Amino acid sequence: ALGQFGLRSQGIGVRGLLDLGSRRWLSLDGQVSRTRVDHGVIDSLMPSEWNSGRLGLGMGFGDFSGRISGHVTDIGGSDSLWGGLDIGLSWRTPWRAALTIGAKNVVSSGNKTWPQENAQALDEAQSRIPYVQYQQDL
């Protein structure tokens, strides 16, 4: 028998939206969570615990919006801390869709091998993830 593997996570999040009138708005949101892993008798590549937090700021004007968010992960039992900053710009189309262009980890710091501590570290350019997203409302 290989044993049992368990994952336990707890978190809380908050979000606020301020309507500035004339289709303008600001939003602020945050989230913190704690995750624990019970590996059983299996030696896992993942750490047994980590804590994470996220803080985001968004703004919109008419059919356009932007968002910037920062995130940090603290790996329990070590000095490893990893964080990053994400940005995105969106356009709400006339045909009830949204087109978003952005990048994750525009700026990042800390341990770039998480969750695999023995993996080769990524350099700054490798950890950056650009994206284009299209979402159609039905």
Per-residue confidence (pLDDT) for residue 78, from 0 to 100? 74
The string of pLDDT tens digits covering residues 24-34 is: 999 999 999 99
Per-residue confidence (pLDDT) for residue 36, from 0 to 100? 87
Q: Which of 56, 131, 54, 65 is nearest to 98 (CA)?
A: 65
**pLDDT exceeds 90 at position 60:** yes
Q: What is the 3-state secondary structure (H, E, C) of the chain?
A: CCCCCEEEEEEEEEEEEEEEECCEEEEEEEEEEEEEEECCCCCCCCCCEEEEEEEEEEEEECCEEEEEEEEEEEECCCCCEEEEEEEEEEEECCCCEEEEEEEEEEEEEECCCCCCCCCCCCCHHHHCEEEEEEEECC
Percent of the chain at pLDDT > 70 equals 78
The string of pLDDT tens digits covering residues 78-107 is: 777 889 999 999 999 999 999 999 999 999
The whole-number average pLDDT for the span 12-36 is 97
The whole-number average pLDDT for the span 43-57 is 83
CB atoms within 10 A of CB 52: 18
Mean pLDDT of the chain: 86
Burial-class residue 86 by CB neighbours within 10 Å (0-12, 13-18, 19+).
buried
- Which sequence spans correspond to the domains of the chain? 6-136
**pLDDT exceeds 70 at position 19:** yes
* pLDDT confidence bin for 1, thresholds 50/70/90: very low
CB atoms within 10 A of CB 29: 16
Alpha-carbon span 72 to 69, nearest angstrom:
10
Percent of the chain at pLDDT > 90 equals 59
The whole-number average pLDDT for the span 42-46 is 60
**pLDDT exceeds 70 at position 113:** no
